[in-house]
Amino acid sequence: MVLGLSLLPGLGNFAGGMVAEFIKTSPRLLNWALHAASGIVIGVVAIELMPEALQNLAGWWIAFAFTCGGLAYAGIEQLLERFVGGEGSGNGRSGMWMIYVAVAVDLSSDGLMLGSGSAVGVSLAVVLAAGQVLADIPEGYSVVANMRANDVPRRTRILASLSFPLYCVGVAVLAYFLLRDAPDAAKYVALSFVAGLLSVAAVEDMLEEAHEAKADSRASTLAFVGGFALFTLVSAGLETVVGSGSPSGSGQPSQSASQGETRP
């Protein structure tokens, strides 16, 4: 079940990449896609990750884990710039690969959520997986469109798209086995860590690359808001449909039973 569900977000990214591969792209469309993808990532943090952490962790734990996540992403960025952004490589190519890293991090966080969610309840895992399918399409589009804009060979672009499911599946399986018997607090610390990663990815790389692709317009703002709204509606709608058949509503343990017991 974990393997099957964790494939869905990666396949959504792959589908978006194939749209960019076989349909003519433009800087304006890339700008919109990156803004939509940023809105989706912020939606993941605001709608899924932080509410869970706030209900189950002390504030200083959240601050510590979030900071560690942001610093980890900054470290990844520095290492990547060292290998990709050296002499002879423009900022566009370095930024292009940072977009890839940002999407890979997002998919890894999806895997973390699905792995831990599967350990909590089936309905929660289904909601997370299905909600990410449509929401991840703009991210896959932005990666391949950005690569096309930087004249990356088609073979490399397709291989990059095919690699997306691996991140989600690998982390989901790892998280499932590591976290299924772990204290609840450990799961929420991990979610706060991922929230820090994703926030930096969305603000520092996706939006920056969108601005470099094309000057912002009102449509860019609408794309960002639309991405956030899309993720929120899909996630909330599916949670209502799938959770209606679960005794606890969403497949999660009752908050009233767990609060005060898992808060470190």
pTM score over 0.85:
no
Calculate what percentage of the chain has a pLDDT beyond 90.
5
- Report which listed range, 107-116, 139-148, 162-171, is most confident: 162-171
> Which pLDDT belongs to residue 124?
62
| Cβ neighbour number for residue 24 with a 10 Å cutoff | 7
pLDDT greater than 80 at residue 232: yes
Q: What mean pLDDT is reported for the chain?
A: 76
Which helix (H) or strand (E) is 19 found in, with range?
helix 2-22
Write phi, then psi, for 208 (nearest 5 degrees): -60, -45
Using pLDDT thresholds of 50, 70 and 90, give the confidence band for residue 239.
Answer: low
The larger pLDDT score, comparing residue 83 to residue 232, is at 232
> Which pLDDT belongs to residue 64?
95
pLDDT greater than 90 at residue 253: no
> Which pLDDT belongs to residue 233?
84
> Which pLDDT belongs to residue 123?
65
Q: How far apart are CA 93 and CA 91, in angstroms?
A: 6
Q: What is the mean pLDDT of residues 173-180?
A: 81
> Which pLDDT belongs to residue 256?
39
Using pLDDT thresholds of 50, 70 and 90, give the confidence band for residue 173.
Answer: confident
Q: Could you read off the pLDDT of 55-67 as tens digits, one per residue? A: 888 889 999 999 9
- Render the burial of 228-244: b for 16+ CB within 10 Å, e for the rest: bebbbebbeebbeebbe
Q: How far apart are CA 138 and CA 31, in angstroms?
A: 11
pLDDT greater than 60 at residue 244: no
Q: How far apart are CA 143 and CA 38, in angstroms?
A: 12
> Which pLDDT belongs to residue 209?
74
| Cβ neighbour number for residue 102 with a 10 Å cutoff | 29
Q: How far apart are CA 30 and CA 92, in angstroms?
A: 13
> Which pLDDT belongs to residue 117?
65
Q: Could you read off the pLDDT of 89-142 as tens digits, one per residue? A: 445 555 667 777 777 777 877 787 777 666 656 666 676 676 677 667 777 887
